[in-house]
Amino acid sequence: MQDPLTSLDTRIASYHDQLIAFLRKRVASDPEELAQEVWLRIHRAAPDLPDEAAFRAYMYTVARRLVIDRHRRQAARLELVSVDGQTLERLSQWTGGPDRDLEAREVLVVVTSTLEQMSPEMAQVFRWRVLEDVPFKVIAQRQGCPVNTALARMHRAVKKLSVALADAGLVREDP
Amino acid sequence: MTTPPSPCHHAETTTLLWLYGEIDDQHAAHVASCPDCSEVARLHADVLSLAAPSLRETPEPLAGRPLVEVSKGGEGVSLGWTLGALAVAATVLLAIGVVWMGSVESPSEPAVVRAPHPSASEVARLLVEDARDLEAASFDDLEDLSDNLEELSDDLDWLEESLASL
Ligand SMILES: [Zn+2]
């Protein structure tokens, strides 16, 4: 039997670069720090995954959750809060710089208009969960619906956003 | 045309709770081994990783806007609204506090004796100032702001209790 720690060390050595590449596509800064967090979580959970494919899937799964977590926190700090007419008006007046800014603005426009086209309940779930970090249970209470309904609304909102971003040619490629 | 529902019953329930950090990491192993749940995880991570940075990288004039202005016209944006409401509540309580102080205060028996210090009217005055400061604050640290809001709410609760018990 292989010592689990040794095994994890071996896997970190094998997969760290892949993990960094995965994270670099998805977070603007500190992919290294996030990777450390992924390894820490995997170490804590100590999954018994002798199969390499299963381990890789597990690693990406944990990484995805951390990516969501980070974006949720960062978004909550800033401006998605003001996804409304004012934001767009100001954005259109803003003379931004290079392509990245342009893409960011395109994404913002797509996200904003997609949210506006959704049912108010659906858009509200997305805003509360992503921007204000409101737990689904609380969202369900606020909307007077079962938690599963709030979850379904969130999922449909994300699916609609995904389709809209894909239609606009703004989605990323998966590794 | 419509996509069939995900066969795994966790995909749109437990897996979402896990993705958004509302249940513990034990579920990760299921997600990793389940194609439906993995797909849901991928979808959410991709959308958030794309949408959130663009919203984060909005230009300076936006970032510097006062909170209350940020919230105008936006549905469900509770922070600005909360601050506005706190300011109004504090103002009302200040008015009540002042009236009350005026009505019961006498040279021999100061009203503050019945309430823990500082006096209710003083707290109300400070609350109005705090709420106005917070309104003017820029939106650069949500956690700080939340802490401030919590303190402000606690103070308001205390003030309401003190006034109610008089
Ligand atoms: Zn599943």
Provide the pLDDT confidence category of residue B100 given band limits of 50, 70 and 90.
Answer: very low
Contact of A88 with A106, CB cutoff 8 Å: no
CATH 1.10.1740 fits A4-76, yes or no: yes
Nearest CA among B140, B9, B148 for reference residue B87: B148
- The DSSP H or E segment spanning B7 is none
Inter-helix orientation angle B78-104/B120-136, to 10°: 160
Q: How far is the CA of A138 from the centre of ligand 1 (A)?
A: 24
What is the percentage of chain A residues whose pLDDT exceeds 70?
A: 79
> Cβ neighbours of residue B64 under 8 Å, at least 6 residues apart?
B138
Q: Exposed, middle or buried: residue B20 (CB in 10 Å: 0-12, 13-18, 19+)? A: buried
Residue A144 has pLDDT above 80, yes or no: yes
Q: What pLDDT does residue B94 have?
A: 46
Amino acid at A171: V
Distance CA B150, CA B27 (A): 33
Chain B, 62 to 81: residues with Cβ < 8 Å from chain A are: 62-63, 65, 70-79
Highest CATH level, class, for A98-167: mainly alpha
Residue spans of the domains in chain B: they are 14-54, 69-102+116-164
* Minimum mean pLDDT range among A17-21, A120-124, B24-28: B24-28
Provide the pLDDT confidence category of residue B140 given band limits of 50, 70 and 90.
Answer: very low
Q: Which two tokens stand for residue B135?
A: 């309104």
Residue B104 has pLDDT above 50, yes or no: no
Averaged pLDDT, B132-153? 49
Residue B154 has pLDDT above 70, yes or no: no
ipTM: 0.76
Round the average pLDDT of chain A to a whole number and report it.
Answer: 82
Averaged pLDDT, A47-64? 86
Q: How far is the CA of A160 from the centre of ligand 1 (A)?
A: 21
CA distance B150 to chain A (A): 15
Residue spans of the domains in chain A: they are 4-76, 98-167
For residue range B7-23, list pLDDT tens digits in order: 899 999 999 999 999 99
Q: Can you spell out the DSSP letters for A86-148?
A: HHHHHHHH----SHHHHHHHHHHHHHHHHHHHS-HHHHHHHIIIIIS---HHHHHHHHTS-HH
Averaged pLDDT, A125-153? 94
Q: Do the two domains A4-76 and A98-167 of this chain adopt the same fold?
A: no
| Whole-prediction pTM | 0.57
Contact A174 B22 (CB under 8 A): no
